[in-house]
Amino acid sequence: MRILGIEGTAWAASAAVFDYDPDDPAPLDADPPVIETDAYQPRSGGIHPREAAEHMGEAIPTVIESALDAADGPIDAVAFSRGPGLGPCLRIVGTAARALAGSLDVPLIGVNHMVAHLEIGRYGAGFDAPVCLNASGANAHLLGYHGGRYRVLGETMDTGVGNAIDKFTRHVGWSHPGGPKVEASAEDGEYVDLPYVVKGMDFSFSGLMSAAKDAYDSDTPVEDVCFALQETIFAMLTEVAERALSLTGADELVLGGGVGQNERLREMLATMCADRGARFYAPDPRYLRDNAGMIAVLGAKMLAAGDTVAIEESAVDPNFRPDQVDVTWRADEGSVAVAPTETPERRGAEAVVTVADDRVTKRRIPKPYRHPELDARLRRERTVAEARLTSDARRVGVPTPVVRDVDVAEATLTFDPVGDRDLGAALTPNRARTVGEHLARLHRAGIVHGDPTVRNVRVGGRIYLIDFGLGYHSGHVEDHAMDCHVFGGSVRGTATDVDATLAAFEAGYADTGDDAVLGRLRKIEERGRYT
């Protein structure tokens, strides 16, 4: 089958033709799609939706014609980027796709742009069930296949990674796109401290970008700010990717999105995966930036699964979330989540935990992908926070391990053992309800856990909360709601009876905590920042 793909979510007017045999798929490099792209370049600042749409209207017919001229034979279907993206651009692409599918009398396929970033990487790698880190201009999130859909394991809480970098470069006075300019400037820079904000597998860039602008305005050399930006932002993305691998038990990671062209990010992710024995795949840069090749590749898989759309039902969706997509082309495949096993020594996302002689020793290991100064700071701060908050939580009635020893210099803690398995291996609605009650008690005392996933709850005679390394003191409803959001994300990415489990969790929280927290949780869920 021969698929014409059309991409036009923001800046890239692109068309591609892809030959695909579902019975004998060739490796991507052996039979790559033919891609024609005409990228929009803003006159100043960032992407202007009106200008981008004008460019799309002029360029789409040309790139389609060029791609069709390069095709060796008739087209069997037309696939197009249905969203997420800029509405004016999407509508132009949708209109062109409908018109072409109608004139050729072939099926029409509406593709989610972000899932296409994932799928072309998975196809190129040959991976079965990877975690995918999407790092693009307007998006930054982690996805994993579970229960028939790609679940959002973690996401930005404010802005996409590329847009965050562009905000700094516009402040400096550099033209769009800013990412390559930051990468070039960073080659001559030295490290300076900037805020590092990770909340479970979620993360935030707003405070970091404000600090970077302030540093530049305070005469910190721009190359030093750029160096620190890369070291901080990409370390955050690499850390949450490792947290997702640890949560799910997956051993494959795929990179997607235009920011994935950055060599330092690719290096960090490759180092992290090699260090934990996972496989890593980063597509060729032409498949990372927005391109119609990925639309055609996913369109071919969807066509083979019979997943087409009627023209009258093919409206574009600027807020088309990746977890709204029914993944029909993977219906018979397993989940990214692997059942955890209990062993005397376990490696999590940032520490090695050893159980011996009725003691649990947890050592935060150095992360070779992080800058040494940043790594030392995080290991020290998180060790101190975990020791203090584990004890604080016990004092307000939440079951936690007893802390027996703290060695800040070695980033090592010693605890009494608790439970006999993680909650992820024994999740029930009743146990989730108890977790809700525990978090509510913490929040009433002004304590934020920071990373309350199903891997950081232990089950035994009681339900224990562990691993307070990302925790802190706060009475703010937003911080408390983020704790609930992190727990919910871990359940959606790993559990089977998700609705009943989360309903029980929220009921437990409501019985003990502040109703305003659950109200704020709804607002966090509605933000859809990664779209």
Burial of 428: CB neighbours in 10 Å, binned 0-12, 13-18, 19+: middle
Q: What is the largest CA-CA distance in the chain?
A: 74
HSE-up of 427 (CA within 13 Å, CB side)?
Answer: 29
Contact in structure between 325 and 150 (CB atoms under 8 Å): yes
Residues 6+ away with beta carbon under 8 Å from 311 = 98, 101, 102, 108
Tokens 């014609």 belong to 65
Tokens 């562009």 belong to 166
Contact in structure between 206 and 167 (CB atoms under 8 Å): no
The C-alpha atoms of residue 372 and residue 303 are separated, in whole angstroms, by 48
- Exposure b/e, 305-320, CB count within 10 A at least 16 = b: eebbbeeeebebbbeb
The C-alpha atoms of residue 521 and residue 504 are separated, in whole angstroms, by 15
Structure tokens at 407: 């060695």
Contact in structure between 505 and 491 (CB atoms under 8 Å): yes
The C-alpha atoms of residue 12 and residue 139 are separated, in whole angstroms, by 16
Active site residue 451: yes
Tokens 């279907």 belong to 77
HSE-up of 382 (CA within 13 Å, CB side)?
Answer: 27
Contact in structure between 63 and 8 (CB atoms under 8 Å): no
Contact in structure between 110 and 314 (CB atoms under 8 Å): yes
Structure tokens at 313: 């039902």
Contact in structure between 302 and 79 (CB atoms under 8 Å): yes
3-state helix, strand, coil in the chain (%, to 5): 45, 20, 35
Catalytic residue among 202, 290, 392, 451: 451
Q: What residues act catalytically?
A: 451
